[in-house]
Structure 1
């Protein structure tokens, strides 16, 4: 019988846990800071019951960023294999509107399916396959400082 963990995680707000292997991967390291932020914001809404609803307007507000940048960030995460679109958004002024829904590939899927970890199946960013592009990153000097 497994012993319960005595690590004092936050019981009130919950805790987000991320795989170390993912955080060390070239797929993760190649992401823009905004894409990494969006992943955490989306994971906050994850449940094992189904896909999560998270739209461009929500990303604009919570990151914060422009609409154009929010759309590019979603595209970056799709191309890198971290999220998969489950259902497109719908806006109807007469009926109920709905936001896009997503599956987070590093998290278990509904019906107790294991994570697909699509990000692992992508080629390294050094190859000719999927290559993530920086999204509004500040320029960093290549100079190394000693001491």
Structure 2
């Protein structure tokens, strides 16, 4: 007889899970704290039915941060390969406005397309204080230099 899962996940509000492989990657570790927050905020809106609508104003309010920093954080996630712009925003006072929409590259896309994991394809090298983490992910001490 199969055991039922008794983990205390929130069934009413849902759960956001992220790949350990992604969270340990040099690409993720090299992100600013605000970019790491934005990844989770955007994933909260993900569905397999279409792109994620998330704008600069929403990022400003939810991170919270300035407009300049919000724009920088979106750029950081694009450059690192975690998000890709699907559709630009549109503001028109006479008609309906729409927010930018994004594809989260670590998650499956609509129409059953698998994740592209663009973040794995980027060349990164991050520096974290006395340690430098090369692309392979192994730690090398810089204290002797």
Map of 1:15 onto structure 2: 15
Give yes or no for the alignment of 1:56 onto 2:38.
no
Which runs of structure 2 are paired with 1:101-116 in the superposition (5 Å)?
101-116=101-116
Q: TM-score, normalised by structure 1?
A: 0.81
Map of 1:69 onto structure 2: 69
C-alpha separation in 1, matches of 2:41 and 2:125 = 24
1:97-141 CA-to-partner distances (Å, cap 9, x unmatched) read 100000000111011111110000001226xxxxxxxxxxxxxxx
Deviation of the 1:8 alpha carbon: 2.5
Relative to structure 1, the CA distance from residue 3 to residue 108 in structure 2 (aligned partners, 3 Å threshold; closer, same or farther) is farther
Aligned-residue RMSD, C-alpha: 1.3
User: 1:5 is paired with a residue of what secondary structure?
Assistant: coil
C-alpha separation in 2, matches of 1:16 and 1:79 = 23
Map of 2:34 onto structure 1: 34
User: 1:76 is paired with a residue of what secondary structure?
Assistant: helix
Gaps of 5+ in 2: 127-145
Map of 1:82 onto structure 2: 82
User: Which structure 1 residue ranges, 4+ long, deviate > 3 Å from structure 2?
Assistant: 2-6
C-alpha separation in 1, matches of 2:112 and 2:7 = 25
Q: Which has the higher strand share?
A: 2
Gaps of 5+ in 1: 127-147
C-alpha separation in 1, matches of 2:86 and 2:45 = 15
